[in-house]
Chains A and B, each alone.
Chain A
Amino acid sequence: MLRQMEGSQAVAETVALCRPEVICAYPISPQTHIVEALSRITRAGRLGTCEYVNVESEFAALSACIGASAAGARTYTATASQGLLYMAEALYNASGLGLPIVMTVANRAIGAPINIWNDHSDSMSQRDSGWIQLYAETNQEAVDLHVQAYALAEELSLPVMVCMDGFVLTHAFERVDLPSQEQVDAFVPAYEPRQVLDPDDPVSIGAMVGPEAFTEVRYLAHARHLEALERIPAVAASFEAAFGRRSGGLVRGYRTEDADTVVLALGSVLGTIKDVIDELRESGEPVGAATLTAFRPFPFAALRALLGCKRHVVVVERAFSTGVGGIVSADVRAALPDAEVRTVVAGLGGRPVTKAALRGLLTAGEPEPLTFLDLDRDLVARELARVRARRRSGPSAENMLRDLAGGG
């Protein structure tokens, strides 16, 4: 059914269609509208006996999901930013135990300086946590990915993070095609756990494992991610067959045929990127774009199949590894050893990624291996001068804000 609605509401409605049995969450912007809506849906009785647990922290939220999932319930949580970091220990635990929890990450920057706006620092920081990470380009895709996430998670016994850009998607009103209950029921069958806490058949879950088997247990997690590389496109294909829409998958190209340069990115920034590609194509530039939907597992083979013959790849990243540069770029370079891969760090802490800036980047003469898009170099230089001038130069963030406000 087509409806004009907020991304968060659409995701909440979709999660509800997946019939979670236990929802545990802790509020943080920009995730709040999702969990508020789910509390209303649960309270209204639309989820039957589903338990909505208002916990005291994100650490408890995911921990309660771990208990609920191990007890055989379909579980859901959502968070962002500081909340995702606060969960970190439990993130590794959930994947290590192989529990198919689905979580929405409403992507947001990490402090300090505290910043509530969108970038990908939060989910990128949990790259190696063992969760499958899928990034939504639009609110429609966010909806569709949640349905696919439950199917994938439960089939593979792995937790899945559906990442959607905070505010840009979560708070945007768009036309969304919500699936029907019958469609979702057919796509996501009742949860049959591989392991369950059952007094009639007692097992110990989470036992200590020493050097004699630890490598093998960890390798199995890797093997399951490799299996996910097969299953993610398969689930996307059956989704398309059932719902008549292409959503998800590993990586998608946009006007990549005969393109010399391809801009690769994750999430909603692809909208702007595709507009720029269209404009440049009109003026005859051989450029294209690629949407990376699955970041973990990383689709090396699929990326090679799509972009293996390209000469230039520009990776636009909404996060970076301090002292290194691009996070996604490192994997892209490994996948495309023959391409010249450039990293563009853009849109940190909610800074708009503009068409003008992207166009400038793609048409500039001498490309740099690492660019910070729209970086105010003068502002940085003035702060560096202050730092050099005085030992107690004060907090840089405040200094730069005062400087911008004209206070010197």
Chain B
Amino acid sequence: MPAPRTKFYQVGSFAVGNRLLPPEQRAVQAAPDRGNALTSGHRACRGCGEALGARYAIDAAIRATGGRMIAVNATGCLEVFSTPYPETAWQVSWIHSLFGNAPAVATGVAAALKAKGRTDVRVVGQGGDGGTVDIGFACLSGMFERGDDVLYICYDNQAYMNTGVQRSGATPPAARTATTPVPGGNAFGQGKNAPLIAMAHEIPYVATATVADLRDLEYKVRRAMDFRGARYLHILVPCPLGWVTDACDTIRVARLATESGLFPVFEAEGGEVTGVTRIRRRIPVDDYLRLQSRYAHLFADPPRTDVIARIQASADRNIRRFGLVD
């Protein structure tokens, strides 16, 4: 019997932080001079997907711009846990104005930089799903439509988390929130698909990502920075508090969201899909839903197999629509 080949941890893998890879393949986080946009010590919950996603996204933006960037933040968990005065965790130029105006504030920053001939400095707007798809939606659409030179990042945790887990226009069907209680949870047939709406504006670049694939997330930020004009990145960031998951399961839940087909990961240029991340090991939505107590009512006695089947159907539709399975 041949001796089993010893696998050294990380060798040949693309795990984030791998300094054994050739430099060009290393993650932004592996670089000794990484930006470290958001320093530790902030007040996010344990296992917060948004904190992770924001740090990777802004670090990647710092890398892509050589540190020549300004961040504009909407009100929400990210703003609240990162800034209570005077302990800002931000190491970049950063402004927070209101809940619903981050895209417009970013427009203003970009306009000022353009007027001053400082187009080397880039602008990143960011907010939660509520700040993006609901209250800030008009500002976002206006920013897209005008083609202002802003990368806007939505950290989608599928509810208004900062105010205690209320339903947003990005809350998925059947999910329990404080304003869509059981029985029932959130309704079917509602909600907005912000990435597709962004694509309908035919802006240069739209992409989705999750915190389960941080290399892909970093790539998409870098890719977005190759373009000028309005760009949109929609990142799925599980929230242990609102999804009622274990803090150690954040990455796993995000991965299952993509592997089930519920959250398609893709990129699009000028309104056309140019790339999708195929599902490596397709799983039934059951596996994804079961980990989260916001769906516990679906698995009670008797289980709501009808509801689970409807969720499965929407995953199947995504898989067909985006060609997520070969």
Q: How far is the CB of B71 from chain A (nearest CB, A)?
A: 9
Closest to A65 in B: B108
- Number of A-B contacts defined by CB within 8 Å: 165
Q: How far is the CB of B65 from chain A (nearest CB, A)?
A: 8
- Chain B 198-227 interface 0/1 with A at a Cβ cutoff of 8 Å (1 = within): 000000000000000000000000000000
Are A64 and B111 in contact, CB atoms less than 8 angstroms apart? yes
B277 interface residue (CB < 8 Å to A): no
- Compute how far the CA of A204 lies from the CA of B72 in the bound complex, rounded to whole angstroms: 10
Q: Out of A61, A66, A210, which one reaches B97, CB within 8 Å?
A: A66
A60-B138, A73-B116, A213-B85 given; A90·B97 CB < 8 A: yes
Stretch touching chain B among A51-59, A131-139, A238-246, A337-345:
A51-59
Are B139 and A67 in contact, CB atoms less than 8 angstroms apart? no
- Among B80, B107, B108, which residue has the most Cβ atoms of chain A within 10 A? B108
Q: Which of B124-162 contact A (CB under 8 A)?
A: 138-139, 141-142, 145-146, 148
A21 interface residue (CB < 8 Å to B): yes
Are B112 and A73 in contact, CB atoms less than 8 angstroms apart? yes
- Compute how far the CA of A72 lies from the CA of B114 in the bound complex, rounded to whole angstroms: 12
B91 interface residue (CB < 8 Å to A): yes
Q: Which of B50-106 contact A (CB under 8 A)?
A: 67-70, 72-73, 79-80, 83-86, 88, 90-98, 100-101, 104-106
Are A202 and B91 in contact, CB atoms less than 8 angstroms apart? yes
- Compute how far the CA of A60 lies from the CA of B101 in the bound complex, rounded to whole angstroms: 7
Interface residue SS majority, chain B: mixed
Are A22 and B139 in contact, CB atoms less than 8 angstroms apart? no
Are A207 and B139 in contact, CB atoms less than 8 angstroms apart? no
Q: How far is the CB of A43 from chain B (nearest CB, A)?
A: 15
Residues of B within 8 A of A54 (CB): 146
A37 interface residue (CB < 8 Å to B): no
Are B116 and A208 in contact, CB atoms less than 8 angstroms apart? no
Residues of A within 8 A of B98 (CB): 63, 89-90, 93
B115 interface residue (CB < 8 Å to A): yes
Closest to B113 in A: A71
A90-B101, A199-B93 given; A22·B112 CB < 8 A: yes
A57-B138, A202-B92, A203-B93 given; A210·B101 CB < 8 A: no
Q: Out of A59, A71, A209, which one reaches B100, CB within 8 Å?
A: A59
A53-B146, A63-B139 given; A198·B93 CB < 8 A: yes
- Compute how far the CA of A222 lies from the CA of B185 in the bound complex, rounded to whole angstroms: 47
A69-B108, A72-B112 given; A206·B93 CB < 8 A: no
A22-B115, A55-B142, A207-B85 given; A67·B92 CB < 8 A: no
Residues of B within 8 A of A93 (CB): 97-98
Q: Out of B72, B106, B111, which one reaches A73, CB within 8 Å?
A: B111
Residues of A within 8 A of B101 (CB): 59-60, 63, 66, 89-90
Interface residues of A (CB under 8 A from B): 21-22, 24, 49-51, 53-57, 59-61, 63-73, 75, 89-90, 93, 97, 197-199, 201-210, 212-213
Interface residues of B (CB under 8 A from A): 67-70, 72-73, 79-80, 83-86, 88, 90-98, 100-101, 104-117, 121, 138-139, 141-142, 145-146, 148
Knowing that A21-B112, A22-B108, A71-B70 touch, tell me 9 more A-B residue pairs with CB under 8 angstroms: A53-B146, A55-B107, A59-B100, A60-B138, A67-B112, A71-B109, A75-B112, A207-B88, A208-B84
